[in-house]
Amino acid sequence: MSHKTRKKGQHSDFVKAATKALKEAAKEARRQAKIHGTKVWVMIDGKVVGLKP
C-alpha cells in the first residue's frame, strides 16, 4: 500500500504499536541484564554508558 492510499490514522496506529514494542523490548533487555548481572548500554548526551539495571 503506498502512502497515497493509506487512510488517515494508520500511520499513527503504526507508530503507537512500534513504540509499545520498543518499550517492551527495553524492559525485557533490562530484565535479562539483571538476571545475568550485566550492564545495559545506552546513549546519554552522545556518549555510550553502561548502566546497572
51: three-class secondary structure by DSSP:
strand
Query: What pLDDT is stored for residue 34 in this prediction?
Result: 96
pLDDT tens by residue, 1-35: 556 666 666 788 999 999 999 999 999 999 999 99
Phi then psi dihedrals of residue 12, to 5 deg: -65, -30
* Containing structural domain, residue 24: 10-51
Q: Across residues 36-52, what is the average pLDDT?
A: 96
Q: Report yes or no on 4 lying in a domain.
A: no
Instruction: Return the C-alpha cell found at 10.
Output: 494508520
CA distance 23 to 30: 11
Count of domains observed in the chain: 1
Q: Report yes or no on 18 lying in a domain.
A: yes
Query: What pLDDT is stored for residue 53 in this prediction?
Result: 86
